[in-house]
Amino acid sequence: MEFRRRLIPGEAAGSARRVAEQALRVWEVRDPLGDVLLVVTELVENVAQHTDGYGLLRLSVRPRLVLIQVSDTSRELPEVQPMGSGGSGGRGLLLVASLSRAWGVRRLPTGKVVWAELAPAPARVTGPPGQRWRE
């Protein structure tokens, strides 16, 4: 199952979060719904803050994982900011890393995609072990 939403300049991350929540509820993803929505918000907000604002949110539900992918038109790779470094922002990727079982960045000819995998609650596990996103 896959959900896609185009991101446009000026669109608030909350809008993408709300439609992502609707899709996840239709797919009966209950756990880790809050974590998935937080990661969606952080990655979409990064597009709004650090690129021209155009992008694509993709959510996929597969056995043993929820995959979040956010692509944008910037070739600049995101940088994880360490705790204690100056400023009030820049810690979103630390949050993504702490909530995800895996995450990363892949360059594209037209930009990049930042992705994160979150594992569903044990009651929802139905597929073979060891599955991880690869494209």
15 lies in some domain: yes
130 lies in some domain: no
Mind listing the pLDDT tens digit for each residue in 35-71? 999 999 999 999 988 888 899 999 998 877 899 999 9
What end-to-end distance do the CA atoms of the chain give, in Å? 16
Tell me the whole-structure pTM to 2 decimals.
Answer: 0.81
- Cβ atoms of 106 and 115 within 8 Å: the answer is yes
135 lies in some domain: no
Overall number of domains in the chain: 1
60 lies in some domain: yes
CATH, residue 57: 3.30.565.10
134 lies in some domain: no
Q: How confident is the model at residue 124 (pLDDT cuts 50, 70, 90)?
A: very low
For the stretch 37-62, what's the b/e string if a residue is b when 16 or more beta carbons lie within 10 angstroms of its beta carbon? bbbbbbbbbbbbeebeebbbbebbbb
100 lies in some domain: yes
Mind listing the pLDDT tens digit for each residue in 67-82? 999 999 999 998 887 7
Question: In the 8-state DSSP scheme, what is residue 124?
Answer: G
104 lies in some domain: yes
- Comparing 9-13, 19-23, 44-48, 108-112, which segment has the lowest mean pLDDT? 9-13
Task: Give residue 57's domain range.
Answer: 2-124
91 lies in some domain: yes
